[in-house]
Amino acid sequence: DAGITQSPRYKITETGRQVTLMCHQTWSHSYMFWYRQDLGHGLRLIYYSAAADITDKGEVPDGYVVSRSKTENFPLTLESATRSQTSVYFCASSAGQFRELFFGEGSRLTVL
Amino acid sequence: AQSVTQLGSHVSVSEGALVLLRCNYSSSVPPYLFWYVQYPNQGLQLLLKYTSAATLVKGINGFEAEFKKSETSFHLTKPSAHMSDAAEYFCAVSAPQGGSEKLVFGKGTKLTVNP
């Protein structure tokens, strides 16, 4: 089915481990985004990408790495997870600037 | 830089009552404004969007919002609340900055609908 899918939906890891959250969209949208959602903070932009091989930092990029070698995939990597990165992560895609964002169902990450 | 303030992190209404969720924005250029809804354990989905056409914007599920430039507001309303409206609502603003788009979200308002 067409859409945007995130995996894994739930992940528990330990401090210092590397974690990769996957995001895949089937619409060929040019823009893709990673947000984190925390109580009291709403959604905060981590990284975004305007096209394959083009990425840029958002509001809270520290501790995260992204890549976009293919239009449809936008993985988010925590190179050395910390407890402060415990959060719900949402991937989103958009057909262009100022267009509607389509969100995945989220990946709940717990760092022990 | 643009920003969004949602007044009230929790709003509670009775079924059938008016829903009013407040959003004020700050932007140095004409903005695009959005309301998104998030049901439990789901991602966000678009309710409605303002893009400088009509100031009164109608969305899905009977919601609407009015853009008031003089008040820098974009409040969300629904005449009669249903139980199914219980969710968290996010206001967001987007404005061109250096050729790129950055959508900034408010912190959200959780709506409870009482029977």
Tens digit of each residue's pLDDT (9 = 90 or more) over B8-48? 999 999 999 999 999 999 887 778 899 999 998 888 999 99
Q: In this complex, do A103 and B43 lie within 8 Å of one another by their Cβ atoms?
A: yes
Backbone angles phi, psi at B63, to 5 degrees: -85, 150
Q: B10-33: b or e for each residue (b if 16 or more CB lie within 10 Å)?
A: ebebeeeeebebbbbbebeeebbb
Cβ contact A101–B46 (<8 Å): yes
Q: Which of B53, B60, B54 is nearest to B78 (CA)?
A: B60
d(CA B99, CA B112): 39
Q: What is Dmax (Cα atoms) for chain A?
A: 38
Q: Which residue of B has its CA nearest to A38?
A: B107
Beta bridge partners of A104: none
Distance from B79 to chain A by nearest Cα, in Å?
A: 25
Going B32 to B105 to B4 to B19, the CA torsion angle's sign is positive
Task: Look at B101 and A97 and tell me if their CB atoms are within 8 Å.
Answer: yes
| pLDDT, tens only, B46-71 | 999 998 778 899 999 999 999 998 99
Q: Which residues pair with A20 in a beta bridge?
A: A77
- Residues from chain B that touch A45, judged by Cβ atoms under 8 A, are 102-104
Grouping H, G, I as helix, E, B as strand and the rest as coil, residue A72 is coil
**Model confidence over A48-86: pLDDT tens digits?**
999 999 999 988 999 999 999 999 999 999 999 999 999
Interface contact A106-B108, CB threshold 8 A: no
A39 to each of A106, B26, B38, B91, B94, how far by Cα in Å?
A: 15, 22, 14, 16, 22
Instruction: Tell me the backbone φ, ψ of residue B61, rounded to 5 degrees.
Output: 60, 25
Nearest chain A Cα distance for residue B26, angstroms: 17
Q: Among A61, A64, A92, A89, which residue's Cα sits nearest to residue A77? A: A64
Give residues with Cβ within 8 angstroms of B113, minimum separation 6.
B12, B13, B14, B15, B81, B82, B83, B85, B86
B102/A103 Cβ within 8 A = no
Residues of chain B contacting residue A92, judged by C-beta atoms under 8 Å apart: 43-44
